[in-house]
Chains A and B, each alone.
Chain A
Amino acid sequence: MKQSISLTAQTDTTQPGAIREPLTMASRERSLWGDAMRRLVRNRLSVVGLSITLLLLFVACFGPWLAPYSYTEQDLMHVAQMPSAAHWLGTDEIGRDLFSRVLYGARTAALVSFFSTSVSMVIGLVMGALAGYGGRWADMIVGRLIDVVMSIPGLLMAALIAVSLKEPIVSWAQRVYADTGFPLFADTTWLDLLVVFGGLAFIQWPGYARLIRGQIFALREEQYVQAAKSIGVSEMKIAVRHLLPNALGPVIVAMTFSLSSAMVAESALSYLGIGIKPPQASWGNMIASNIGSWSYRPWLVAVPSITLAIVTLGINFLGDGLNDALNPKSSKSI
C-alpha cells in the first residue's frame, strides 16, 4: 500500500518534465526564472542597477589592464593636480593617479563584498537550518547567539575582530613562511582582505540565519509541503525540492542588499584605518586620507565618495528590482 503511494509520488515528480517538453517547444510556457527576468528588465531602475553592478564586476576583473597607471606609481612633478588629460581624475597628495586608484579600489570593494557575502550566507544557511530542523534546543541556542551578535553594533564588532585578529594571523603567516618558505605567505597584504572578510561575515550571518529559519518555519505550514509529507516524501527531499526553491528568492534579494552593505562596511573599516591599509587602494581609505583637505582639494575626496555612492546605490536598485521580480506576491499583498 505504502509502496504504491510513493510510486505514484515518483511518477508525479517525473511526469511534468515529460509533459513540459512539447509545451516549451510551442513556446507557451514561461519558466519561473524567465518570468522573473522579464519583470526585472521591465523596471528601469533595476536595469540601471544591473548595469552598474556588471560594470563593477568588469572593472574588478580587468581594472589593472584598464588603468593608465599603477596604483602606487607616483608622479612627483604633478602632485595634487586637478583633473587633466594626462590624469583624468587628477592626482592625489603624493602624485598617484586618482582614476587608476579608483579602478583598483573597485577590485577591493568587489572582492570583499562578494566573499564576505558568500561566507556569511553559508554560515547563516547552516545556522538557520540548524535552528529550523535541530529541534527546540538548537533553535533556542541559535536564537540567543543571534541576539548577542546583533546587540553589538555591526561596525564596532567587525572593527574589533579586525583589530584583534589581524596581527596574530599576520605573525602566524610570517612564521609559516620562515619555516616552510611557502610562497603564498611571502606577501601578507592579502591577509588584510582575509581579516576584513572574516569580520564582515561574522556580523552578517545572523540576518541570513533569521531569514532561512523563518522560511523553514513558514514553508513547513504550506499545504503542498504538508501534502508531500502525508504521502511519505522524505524530509530531505522536501527540503531540496520544495523549501530550497521557494526560499531562494528571498535569499538572493538579501544577498544583493548585503553586497552593498558589505561594501559600505569595508569602506568604513578602511576609513577608520583598520581595514585595507594604504598603499592598497580602497575607496574608504582614499576618502579618509583626503577628507582633511576637502576645502581646498575637493576632488580628491569627492571622486571616491561619488564612486562609492553610485555603486552602492546601483546595487540597492538591483536588489529592489530583484525583490519585485522574485517575490511578486510580497509586493502585491501590500
Chain B
Amino acid sequence: MLKYTLGRLAIAVPTFLAVLFITFLLTTLSPFDPVTIMMQQYEGTLDGMQQKELVQRIRNQYGLDDSFAVQFTKYLQRLAQGDLGISVTGQRDVLRMIVKTFPVSFQMGLAGALLTALIGIPLGAIAALKQNTWIDYTIVGTSLTFRSLPVFVLAPLLLVLFVLILGIMKVPRGWDGLFQTKTILPIAILMLGPLPVVIRQTRQAVLEIFSQDYVRTAKMKGLKMWRIVVRHILRNALIPVVTTLGFVIEGLIIGSIFLDNIFAIPGFGGVVESAFRGFDYPVIMGVTMVTSLMIILTNLMVDLIYPFLDPRIKLD
C-alpha cells in the first residue's frame, strides 16, 4: 500500500510542477506589460519623471527584469510560502481573493456534487434497468441534450423562461447563504454540466453487472427486484462511478466561471472571469494553479481510495 501511495504521489507531484511550469512559461511569453496596465489607473496624475521612477520601482518589486530561470525559482519559492502575488488591477492579495470567495463556491459546489450523485445515480440505474425502452431513451437523450449546452447558454434561456415567460420566480441575484430560494436555479444549472457523465457511467456499470452470475443467482432464488438492485447491483456499480469525481469537480469549477457573474454570486468563478477579462496575470496564474491542484488532488484521492472499494484492483 505504501509503495502504491508513493507511486501515485510520484506521478501527481511532477504533474503539478509541470502545470506550474506551463502556466508560468505562457504568462512570461506574453509581452503584455502588467506595469503598463497598472499605470493606466494613474493616467495623468503623475508627470513623466515620477512615472518612470514609479514604473521602475514596480518592475523591481515584481522582479520583472530578471531572467526566466530566476523568475521561475522565485515564483516557486513564493508559492511554497503561500504567496500567490498581488493582483495587477486593484492591488489585492491573490491568495486572499481566492480564500475569501472559496467558501461560497465550496458550498455551491458541494450542493451541486451531492445533487449530481443523488439524481444522476438513480437515473443512470433506471436507464440501465429499462434498457432500450422509452424510459432509457428519454434519460439518455435528455442527458445528451444537457451535455451539449454550455452554462452561458442555459442560464440566460432558463432566466428568460422562468422569469419572463412563466413568471414563476423573481430575478435570482446575489448571495445570502446556501439555503435560499435564489440559489436553486444556479445550483440546478451548475449540476447539469457534470450530471450526464454520472448518468452515463452509472448506466454502463449497472448494465455490466446485470449480466454477472451472482445477479442471475439472486434472480433465480426469487429475490425481489428492488432488493437485487440495492443489495447486489448498486453496491458494485457505484465503484466505477467514483472515478468520475474528477470530471464532476472540473465541471463545477468551469460552470461557476460563467455562472457567478450572471447570478451576482461572489464566488471563485467570478474571480476567474474578471481575471481573464482584465488580463490580470497574477490572478490568472493563481486560479489556474488552484484549479489544477484541486483536480490533481481529487484524482489522487480517487486513486488512493479505489483499492479499498474494489479489492480486486492490484496495487502495482
Contact = CB atoms under 8 A, between A and B. Distances in A.
Contacts of B19: 148, 151-152
Given A165-B29, A309-B148, A153 B11 contact: no
A301 interface: yes
Interface string A287-302: 1100100110010011
B277 A264 contact: no
A268 B171 CA distance: 24
Contact of B276 (A45, A273, A295): A273
A117 interface: no
A157 B22 CA distance: 9
B40 to A, nearest CB: 16
Contact of A159 (B144, B204, B276): B276
Interface residues of B, number: 53
Nearest to A165: B29
B236 interface: no
B266 interface: no
A316 B258 contact: no
Contacts of A264: 148, 150
Contacts of B253: 153
Given A152-B19, A271-B258, A305-B153, A144 B14 contact: yes
Interface in B239-292: 250, 253-254, 257-258, 262, 272-273, 276-277, 279, 284, 287-288, 291-292
A182 to B, nearest CB: 21
Contacts of B299: 151
A306 interface: yes
Give the interface residue-count category, chain A: 35 or more
A164 interface: yes
Chain A interface helix/strand/loop/mixed: helix
Contact of B272 (A148, A156, A267, A316): A156
Nearest 9 CB-CB pairings of A with B: A164-B30, A164-B26, A312-B148, A148-B18, A305-B153, A298-B160, A301-B156, A316-B148, A264-B150
Interface of B: 11, 14-16, 18-19, 22-23, 26-27, 29-32, 131, 141, 144-145, 147-150, 152-153, 155-157, 159-160, 163-164, 171, 204, 207, 250, 253-254, 257-258, 262, 272-273, 276-277, 279, 284, 287-288, 291-292, 295-296, 299
29 contacts: A45-B141, A147-B15, A151-B16, A151-B19, A152-B22, A152-B291, A153-B291, A155-B254, A160-B288, A163-B32, A164-B26, A167-B30, A167-B31, A168-B29, A168-B30, A168-B31, A171-B31, A264-B148, A267-B150, A267-B152, A271-B258, A272-B273, A294-B156, A298-B160, A305-B156, A308-B150, A309-B148, A312-B149, A334-B204
